[in-house]
Amino acid sequence: MKYVLFILSTVVFVSSLVTYSILYFNNVRNKTVITTPSVANNLTLDEINLKDFLMENQPIVIGNRSAKVAIFEFYDPACPFSQMYYENTFPKIYENYIKTGKILYVDKEYPLVSLHGINAFKAAQYLRCVYVHAGEDAYLRAKNLTYLSKRKWYDAKGVNLTKALLNIYLDTEKIYNDIVDCYLNNETASATYYDVVKGRQLGVRGTPSFIIYVPRNLLSLEDKVEIEDHFNQIYNVTTYQIYEDRDGNYIIPLIGALPYSEFKFVLSRVLPS
C-alpha cells in the first residue's frame, strides 16, 4: 500500500476571478504523512480516524455535531484569502448545509506567524475566547469583524493590540469580561497551538485549506473518480487524489478561496438527496 504526503503549495493563480492555490500530492515510500522538525510525532493516515483526530483539543464546532459529513477549515485571521472565502463562499455553505444540519463544520486555527507575525496568532486566540464564552453565533460575528478590522490590529503592539482585539466584539458586560479574562490569561493559546501542530502533521501549508471528511458508505467509486478528475482540472495537476483514514473513511482535501460551486460539487455527491 502506498502512503501519500500531501503538500499544499503557496503558488496561487487567478481563474474566473477566483484565487486558487495549486495542490500537489507526492508519493513517498517511508510511510510518513508529514515530517516537520517542530512536530515530534509523525503519523500515517492508517493510524488515525481523521475526524476523531481533528475533534480533539477544544474544537470550534459550527452546526450539527451529529452530522456524518464534516468540513474542517484551516484558516488564518490575517490571511486575505481566508477572508475572501469567508465573505464570498462560507455564507452559502452556512445557509445550505450548516444551518440545515446537513454537515458538521469545524474551524481549525492556523495562523501563519512566519508570514503574518505573532498578531495573527493573538487574533486566533482571541476568537477562540469568543467562541468559548459567547458561543457559535457570537464567534461567527467576531470572525467577520476581525477580518474587517484587520488594519487596526495587524501591526498593533502591546496594549494597543489588546485594545484593538478586545474592542472587536462587545457583548453583555459579564460575557465581555469573561472574554477579556480568557484572552489576557492565555486560556486558549494551547488549543490554538495544537490546531497549528495538527495542521502541520497533515501537511497544511497555506490558508484557507479544507478537509471534507466523508464516511466510506456515502461516496461511490464512480463519484470518487469524478471528484478526483474534476479537481485535477481545477488545480491543473494530474496527482490530486482522495485519501482514506484508518477506518476507510474518505478524506477530500481542498485549498484556496474556492467558490461555493466547488464545495457544492463535492457535497452533492456525498449527501443524501
CATH of span 3-270: 3.40.30.10
Model confidence band, residue 43 (pLDDT cutoffs 50, 70, 90): low
Check whether 15 has a pLDDT greater than 80.
Answer: no
Mean pLDDT of 183-193: 95
Q: What confidence score (pLDDT) does residue 133 get? A: 95
- 200-253 pLDDT, tens digit per residue, is 988 898 999 999 999 999 999 999 999 999 999 999 999 999 999 999 999 999
Check whether 16 has a pLDDT greater than 70.
Answer: no
What is the DSSP annotation of the chain?
--EEEEEEEEEEEEETTEEEEEEEEEEESS--S---TT-S----GGGS-HHHHHT-SS-EEEE-TT-SEEEEEEE-TT-HHHHHHHHHTHHHHIIIIITTTSEEEEEEE---HHHH-HHHHHHHHHHHHHHHHH-HHHHHHHHHHHHHTHHHHTT--HHHHHHHHHTT----HHHHHHHHHHHHTTTTHHHHHHHHHHHHHTT--SSSEEEEEE-GGGS-HHHHHHHHHHHHHHTT-S----EE-TTS-EEEEEEBS--HHHHHHHHHHHS--
Q: What confidence score (pLDDT) does residue 42 get? A: 57
